[in-house]
Amino acid sequence: MKQRTTWGTRARGYVIGLSSFGLGGAATVGVLAAMPNRMPIVDLPDFLQGGVLTALYDRLPTVNMLKGLAKEPSTALAGASHAAKAFPPPSAAPAPFLLGPHFIADAAATAAPAVVNITVSKAGVPVPQDHSGTGFIYSTDGCILTNAHVIADALPSSDLANGYSSNSTSCSSRSSKPSIGTSKGSSSKPITIALQDGRIFQGSVLMFDRISDLAVIQITSSQPLPTVKLGTSKGLRAGEWVLALGSPLHLQNSVTAGIISCVDRKAADLGLPRVRTEYIQTDAAINKGNSGGPLVNLQGEVIGLACFKALSADGVSFAIPIDTAKDVIEQLQQRGRVIRPYIGIKMLQLTEHNAAQMRQQDADFPAITQGILVPHVAAGSPACKCGMREGDVITGFAGQSSNVSTNHLIRCLGQHVDKAMEVQVLRPGVGSVSLQVKVSEALQ
């Protein structure tokens, strides 16, 4: 009798977990206990020579690294599955673009006026300077986006760990329904906001989400405030020029430049346990104090927020994609919390090349060029209850079959929380099967 390869077992070393936590609401799926108030320090794998990732803030807890991550034999296949996404082919007819002597300075000048320095005070006396961070004004009514760990000392301890939205109606249109997790108090410690033009304001926490490490502060001014345009992190390419603006080592109004090193660096690549999200990796210099500062393109548009770096290596820094931040803000404004769906599966994105390699090892593997392999289904999960099995290949969902990607599936699941969603799978030895999965909300 022919022995069948169990693809769920073979793929476990490099799958993306729908049952794990990630950033940004509809862009994430998972379950995670409350994140600590500070971003973690993580030991890097041996192949990175013992470097550590550190959030750009002080008093950080440590998290053990997944040792030998790069030594898993399946990692090469996992990397190949998104190589085409990281390095798309050049445009057939690229538009002429000549870099002048001031192309970096011009981009910096566009965004810099809206970049602010953030300091949390205690009893009217500023805490040590290494408690400061960066943010940027993105709306005319004074809303500032930053990292939640930058203002952790100012967050009311009574609030839910997964974020809250205040009763303010500023920064965007808001739902008239009461927000779950709404704060009834105010920030426990003052927040001082310093602009590049010398003006200083007292800020108040408008909303935050510790899991995604994002927060919005608001200031009030009788005079117009500078703002920066929010761009998009969709369509970024490795090698694009970017700038990091902020207050590294308390040196306000600093600018560094570099390129995008990777557009979708997975948290698993960094040894971050249970975190299933993507970061923008850049070699632009980012240091303590840059936390929450903007990563901008050559048009001066924000494409990400600086969040942490590799301590023992130069030119290895990471930013939260701005599209993730937009989604978190939208959900906090509408619901008062971030909704993260859960169906209890792990996923592996299939491409023409890794699917062909799997067929070479197992003739029963479906002859497909795209799809999502399901290497594991959690017992008792919504996916298990609807009949999904380990080894199934998702070929369509929500009536769509043209864009079968993990990111798109996660977004669709986020739109179907507490609802049933149709999922089409190919099952070895059976063929096409249609399933109705009842999407649950992940526990926070």
Catalytic residue ranges: 149, 213, 291
Sequence-separated (6 or more) residues with CB below 8 Å from residue 417: 339, 341, 439, 440, 441
Give me the DSSP letters along 253-319.
SEEEEEEEEEEEEEGGGGT-TTB--EEEEE-S---TT-TTPEEE-TTS-EEEEEEEEETTSSS-EEE
Dihedral of the alpha carbons of 322, 325, 330, 335, in degrees to the nearest 10: 170
Give me the DSSP letters along 27-60.
G---B-PPPPSSPPEEEPPGGGTT-EEEESSSS-
H/E element, 357: helix 352-361
**Beta strand pairing call for 16-17 and 214-218:** unpaired
CA distance 283 to 33: 31
**Residue at token pair 């926070």:** 444
Token pair in block for residue 263: 């557009």
Dihedral of the alpha carbons of 264, 79, 389, 428, in degrees to the nearest 10: 130
CA distance 142 to 135: 12
Alpha-carbon distance values, 101 to 104, 106, 107, 110, 329 (Å)? 8, 10, 12, 16, 37
Residue 291, number of CB atoms within 10 A of its CB: 30
Nearest to 361 by CA among 74, 154, 43: 74
Q: Under a CB-based contact definition with an 8 Å cutoff, are residues 184 and 109 in contact?
A: no
CA distance 344 to 327: 22
Dihedral of the alpha carbons of 325, 326, 330, 331, in degrees to the nearest 10: -40
Token pair in block for residue 102: 């001031």
